[in-house]
Amino acid sequence: MDALTPREIVAELDRHIIGQDAAKRAVAVAVRNRWRRRQLDPALAREVAPKNIIMIGPTGVGKTEIARRMARLVNAPFLKVEASKYTEVGYHGRDVESMIRDLLELGMNMARAEQAEVVREQAESAVEERLVSLLIGAEPTDEPSPLAPTDDSTDPAAADVEREVRLRMRRKMRDKLRAGQFDDREIEISVSERPSMPLIGMMGPDQVDPGMSQMLESLMPTRSHRRRVTVRRARAILMEEETDKLIDNEKLVEQAIERTQQNGIIFLDEIDKIAAPSEGGGKGSADVSRQGVQRDLLPIVEGSTVNTRYGVVHTDQILFIAAGAFHSAAVSDLMPELQGRFPIRVELEALRKEDFRRILTEPDAALTKQQQAMLATEGMTIEFDDAAVDAMAELAAEANATMENIGARRLMTVMEQVFEQLSFDAPDLDGGTVRITEAFVRERLAAIMQDEDLSRFVL
């Protein structure tokens, strides 16, 4: 999927996000550049740095959604973090290197899921055999069966009969197991687990050296205990165990690190919160702290190495997309060195009534379509008049203009207020068709919109 052209990427994003063409084009080109880099000679490819992006725009206009959808489209590890939650190295709190560790964990999960799919059939077969053995009486062991032939009983015919009886019994149990006849029966299984280190739990993952953490965990003995669970639950537990046995962990780590380094995307939200406004002079303790976070962030964005529990991660090809409203600060208030590492800047437009109307109807998972699908589970058919959609868009735009502008998120609160009573009564209405009209929308929202204090609380 990462060989998609910029035009194809934008077309996919258009299915879910309305407008913001400049931002869509910027991320589409950034993703395509990764594919282009892989076609280069390795010596030249090492010199090609990703073109990091800064998105500027108010909340709720699609900054995060564009990046998240794009990452999902190309199957890349994607991590959204708030820049304001990090602290300078040496202070209490999370340091910026922890975002790389978190990104690698996501890469590990993705690689593990892919490996699990490869060995799924083999794992399912092993789980089935273990469940059959448990249902018959005991899991398979290396000890000889009391019915097995011994030195004193070497009659080949008797051994063949016994073997045939066992095979026939296992076949019957296997057929019943596949048919789900034992799903609710309780059985006793042995579950293995490695206890966590109390010290690591108290200190937190960011305060423990990754190498020490891995060493301490490897020293802890694996414990097993017996549990009584249903066959349905046992299948899930044993599937995880058998999958872990079949997965090549060295190959898994190698793939995860490579994917994180080459395809990883970090979305730095609220980047404006660590910018020191120029009028403040940068002398206060808060401004000094912000600059400290920027200084720590700079080598990560520039390209450095970060030690993790799985190995060293190089950050020079990770794509960083920063975003912020920049109401009280400007991009120029960031450190010049950090500004230079974000060469692409895109300004997203505030949403208007026309945009709200399109958001309500055009995306594949538009709010109106979601509401229709949800109430269809109760046997109800919901139909929207065009005027009703216009009214919801108008009221959302009006609420954003008179109160805090939260962008498209306002539509969710408007929709919930319109459908609150209907959603409550739906199970008792025995299906039928309900038409949502402009009068219905305005009636549901009239009292709230007229009372400013109430509208601030509800919408």
Q: What is the pLDDT of residues 271-289, one digit of tens each?
A: 988 887 655 555 555 555 7
Is 322 part of any domain? yes
Is 456 part of any domain? no
Do residues 103 and 164 share a domain? Answer: no
Determine the pLDDT at residue 418: 92
Place of tokens 């999902």: 72
Determine the pLDDT at residue 213: 60
Distance between CA 112 and CA 118 in Å, rounded?
10
Please give the residue that has the higher pLDDT: either 192 or 230.
230
Average of per-residue pLDDT across 304-332: 91
Write out pLDDT tens, residues 211-254.
Answer: 556 556 666 666 777 878 888 888 888 888 889 889 989 999 99
Do residues 126 and 223 share a domain? Answer: yes
pLDDT at residue 450 is higher than 70: no
Write out pLDDT tens, residues 333-379.
Answer: 889 999 999 999 999 988 999 999 999 999 999 999 999 999 999 99
Q: Which of 328, 347, 366 is the last residue of a domain?
A: 347
Judged by DSSP in three states, 174 sits in: helix
Residue 274: count of CB within 10 angstroms of its CB? 27
Average of per-residue pLDDT across 102-110: 94
CATH no. for residue 428?
Answer: 1.10.8.60
Q: Are strands 223-230 and 186-193 parallel, antiparallel or unpaired?
A: antiparallel
- Write down the mean pLDDT value for the chain: 83
Q: Which of 325, 347, 369 is the last residue of a domain?
A: 347
Q: How many domains are contained in the chain?
A: 3
Distance between CA 192 and CA 46 in Å, rounded?
44
Do residues 367 and 341 share a domain? Answer: no
First to last CA, the chain: 40
Q: Which of 225, 246, 267 is the last residue of a domain?
A: 246
Do residues 365 and 294 share a domain? Answer: no
Do residues 282 and 317 share a domain? Answer: yes
Is 251 part of any domain? no
Is 457 part of any domain? no
Write out pLDDT tens, residues 57-89.
Answer: 988 899 999 999 988 988 899 999 998 888 766
Residue 172: count of CB within 10 angstroms of its CB? 12
Is 216 part of any domain? yes
Share of the chain above pLDDT 70, in %: 83
Is 150 part of any domain? no
CA 341 to the chain's CA centroid? 26
Is 265 part of any domain? yes
Predicted TM-score (pTM) of the model is 0.78
Range of the domain at 169: 120-140+157-246
CB contact at 8 A, 359 and 366: yes
Do residues 307 and 328 share a domain? Answer: yes
Do residues 262 and 230 share a domain? Answer: no
pLDDT at residue 196 is higher than 60: no
Amino acid occupying residue 197:
M
Position 195 confidence tier, pLDDT thresholds 50, 70, 90: low
Please give the residue that has the higher pLDDT: either 401 or 137.
401
Let me know how long the chain is: 459
Do residues 169 and 198 share a domain? Answer: yes
Beta strand extents in 10-83 (DSSP E only): 53-56, 78-82
Do residues 16 and 102 share a domain? Answer: yes
Determine the pLDDT at residue 207: 52
CB contact at 8 A, 330 and 123: no
Q: Are strands 311-314 and 305-308 parallel, antiparallel or unpaired?
A: antiparallel
Do residues 225 and 271 share a domain? Answer: no
Do residues 31 and 86 share a domain? Answer: yes
Among 253, 194, 250, 241, residue whose Cα is nearest residue 218: 194
From residue 381, alpha-carbon distances to 37, 384, 393 in Å are 51, 10, 22
Is 107 part of any domain? yes
Average of per-residue pLDDT across 16-23: 92
Among 365, 360, 368, residue whose Cα is nearest residue 394: 360
